[in-house]
Amino acid sequence: MQTKDLNFIKTANDQQLKQLCIELRNMIINTVSLHGGHLSSNLGVIELTVALLKSFDPIKDDILFDVGHQSYAYKILCDRWDQFSSLRQENGISGFPDPRESPYDKFISGHSSTSLAVASGFAIQKKLENVPGHTIVIFGDGSITGGEAFESLNNIGHQQLPLIAILNDNEMSISQNVGAMAKSFSRFRSSQTYHKLRTSYKYHLRQWGSFGSFLEKLGEKAKSMVKQALFPEMFFEEFGFFYIGPVDGHNISEMCEMFQRAKTINKPVLIHVYTRKGKGFHYAENNPVLFHSSPSFIIENKCCKTNAGNETFSQIFGKTLLELAQENHKVVGLTAAMSEGLSMCEFSRHFPDRFFDCGIAEQHMVSSASGMAHKGLRPFVGIYATFLQRAYDQIIHDCSILQEPVVFAVDRAGAVSDDGPTHQGIFDLCSLIPIPNTILMAPSNADELSKMLKWASIQDKGPLFIRYPKECAPQDFDPHPIELAKASILKEGKDISLIFLGPFRELSFQVSEMLLKQNIHAQIINARFAKPFDQELILRCAQDSRLLATIEDGVIEGGFGHLINTFVTKYKLKTPVLNFALASQFPTTMKRQKILELSGISVDNIYQSILKKLES
């Protein structure tokens, strides 16, 4: 396939553009099949991207993608055709827009519902400083369920900022989109009769000259009442946007026409585009959810097989939640549009009345769970560590002050593979530790996660966070029951204490075996609780051991290890403490293992560092 650039798009005819879309689809499918990635969303916006690049200048104009998971075709066409095979790999092309990667990527994104606000900032700068160029935002019907998107519509409409907002409506978030707005979009979409009637009645009235236009105006009034009851058109117009649409998002010329029209309107415009998620790859069209964030896959005998791994911590959460709900009718489950990744689908099928997909609304979810807990329900909030950041104030204000017993299953905690800086789950420990009334736990294996969830379901001291990574859960077994603030001693040893938090059992045993060869006997402790931690045991360790080493996968500043340091210092003990944790940096796109290693969380580095410290 020959590299195609922006000049090609500008001059290409319809047939050539069609052929280009086929090539882009093949490139994206092939690359994602090798390394995984956001397949369905990207296949859905290929024609939209080509139409945008035919109509706008991606250097002079600012094109922003909400979440940014759907920017693959844009990246390919904007100077990264030849590098695209390195998608989501170390030193390769990021799966999300990043201006540090290319001047065509105008802003960073990864989290949902931010793009309208950022675009408003861009549009204000252009207006204040008289800079030419358009500001264009592409956001999905899922992204608009996030509160920040509503805040932005409110402000942009109020300020009448010249900005072109393109609503990519595919009726899906990751799974089926939820909420009143989604319902309204869906009704709008299915009301083909209305659209046909509306077009034909206007056409006929216009044949009647001025009397016709009088009737048209009269009809407009009646129509607006109908629209108000039924359609998003009115919704956006009420916000102060000029509404254009709906437009077929797979018809390039139709979209180009609308974009040309939008360019002439010097106020907020909303173009409502219909697309199909997974378009052009029938496995993804038929299962857009599976291919939303797809693992690598192969097509064999006309069958698509994804390379999913063994049982993960997420799956253990899903299974245990189901068990708990079967035993206790007060157990409810909440997610902010992530039921697949969190393994909550089974729960949602068994207990549809006790399952709440809040849309991409983490703040709403946490406050709502706090209300439920206050009234005696047992809410389990499933959330990725990176998206927990959205609900920080709700955790403090609504959940912690009154000590509401909400259980948070914090998935994708710690270093996260492939998604780069926007998706790391490394700030949860350091941000949650200072909040009063919180309990923070981390399981080291599958059995422990299940036990922690069961233990958590009967606690009522306040919010409780159980964090775990996107990993297969080790299958080993620790007989010690879960008790508040109690660590578990896995191996006795008189010389040093290795205290780990999370899935570092295997690593700690490997370090201990290497130390043993130097005649250094290590005690291995599974901390289980970051807060409140096992003070009695840590004090004993600090008194009896020559050195303490803490291991965790959160950022070092303000993390679990630092809590231990402060504690040891408080007791005026001279025992040296080594902290193995993540550097306070934003990791670039790479595998989890590599991120850990770069921060020194590896058998070899921990072993060498301990030896060095003992010798000093």
Ligand X SMILES: Cc1ncc(C[n+]2csc(CCOP(=O)(O)OP(=O)(O)O)c2C)c(N)n1
What mask, x for binding ligand X by CB under 6 A, covers residues 328 to 357? --------xx--------------------
Q: Which is nearer to ligand X, 141 or 552 (CB)?
A: 141
Q: Which is nearer to ligand X, 288 or 503 (CB)?
A: 288
HEC secondary structure over 462-489? CCEEEECCCCECCCCCCCCCCCCCCCEE
HEC secondary structure over 546-589? CEEEEEEEEECCCCHHHHHHHHHHHCCCCCCEEEEEECCCCCCC
Q: What is the helix, strand, coil percentage profile of the chain, to 5? A: 45, 15, 35
Can 202 be counted among the known catalytic residues? no
Q: Which is nearer to ligand X, 185 or 297 (CB)?
A: 185
172 touches ligand X (CB under 6 A): yes
What mask, x for binding ligand X by CB under 6 A, covers residues 182 to 221? ----------------------------------------
What's the CA angle centered on 422, arms 417 and 425, to 5 degrees? 60
Q: How far is CA 63 from CA 115, 163, 419, in A?
A: 10, 10, 21
Tokens for 284?
A: 């993804």
Binder among 49, 70, 135, 545 for ligand X (CB under 6 A): 70
294 touches ligand X (CB under 6 A): no
Q: Which is nearer to ligand X, 173 or 438 (CB)?
A: 173
Tokens for 130?
A: 């008289």
Binder among 4, 106, 111, 126 for ligand X (CB under 6 A): 111
CB of 79 to ligand X, least distance (A): 23
CB of 148 to ligand X, least distance (A): 8
Q: Which of 364, 360, 362, 383 is nearest to 372 (CA)?
A: 364
What mask, x for binding ligand X by CB under 6 A, covers residues 356 to 395? ----x-x------------------------x--x-----
CB of 113 to ligand X, least distance (A): 6
Q: Which is nearer to ligand X, 69 or 250 (CB)?
A: 69
Can 390 be counted among the known catalytic residues? yes
- Alpha-carbon torsion (557, 562, 565, 566), positive or negative: positive
User: 110: Cβ–Cβ under 8 A, 6 or more apart, which residues?
Assistant: 67, 68, 69, 96, 419, 420, 421, 422, 423
What's the CA angle centered on 110, arms 150 and 398, to 5 degrees? 55
424 touches ligand X (CB under 6 A): no
Can 277 be counted among the known catalytic residues? yes
CB of 341 to ligand X, least distance (A): 8
Q: How far is CA 584 from CA 96, 555, 590, in A?
A: 21, 5, 16
CB of 71 to ligand X, least distance (A): 11
Choices 67-75, 210-218, 244-252, 346-354; region in contact with ligand X by CB under 6 A? 67-75
Q: Which is nearer to ligand X, 280 or 443 (CB)?
A: 280
- The CA distance from 125 to 118, in Å, is 11
Binder among 88, 277, 319, 467 for ligand X (CB under 6 A): 277
CB of 377 to ligand X, least distance (A): 23
Q: Which is nearer to ligand X, 63 or 527 (CB)?
A: 63
Of 362, 404, 448, 552, the active-site residue reads 362
Of 54, 75, 106, 277, the active-site residue reads 277
74-93 residues near ligand X, rule: CB under 6 A: none
112-171 residues near ligand X, rule: CB under 6 A: 112, 140-143, 168, 170
Under DSSP, is residue 459 helix (H, G, I), strand (E, B) or coil?
Answer: coil
Q: Which is nearer to ligand X, 291 or 317 (CB)?
A: 291
Q: DSSP label at 241?
A: P
Binder among 29, 67, 167, 507 for ligand X (CB under 6 A): 67
Interface with ligand X (CB under 6 A), residue total: 23
Q: Which of 114, 115, 116, 98 is nearest to 106 (CA)?
A: 98
- The CA distance from 231 to 333, in Å, is 31
- The CA distance from 304 to 302, in Å, is 7
Q: Which of 369, 382, 428 is nearest to 560 (CA)?
A: 428
Q: Which is nearer to ligand X, 284 or 498 (CB)?
A: 284
User: Directed axis angle between helix 209-230 and helix 180-190, to 10°?
Assistant: 140
Phi, psi of 552 (to 5 degrees): -155, 165
CB of 83 to ligand X, least distance (A): 23
Q: Which of 319, 289, 327, 318 is nearest to 306 (CA)?
A: 289
Q: Which is nearer to ligand X, 417 or 523 (CB)?
A: 417
User: 209: Cβ–Cβ under 8 A, 6 or more apart, which residues?
Assistant: none
Phi, psi of 527 (to 5 degrees): -65, -35
Under DSSP, is residue 179 helix (H, G, I), strand (E, B) or coil?
Answer: coil
If you search the block for the tokens 């578990």, which residue do you land on?
488
What mask, x for binding ligand X by CB under 6 A, covers residues 25 to 64? ----------------x--x--------------------
Q: How many CB atoms lie within 10 A of CB 131?
A: 11
Choices 5-13, 65-73, 396-404, 498-506; region in contact with ligand X by CB under 6 A? 65-73
CB of 98 to ligand X, least distance (A): 15
Binder among 49, 173, 444, 545 for ligand X (CB under 6 A): 173
Of 4, 75, 319, 390, the active-site residue reads 390
* Residues acting as catalytic residues: 277, 362, 390
Q: Which residues bind ligand X (CB under 6 A)?
A: 41, 44, 67, 69-70, 111-112, 140-143, 168, 170, 172-174, 277, 336-337, 360, 362, 387, 390
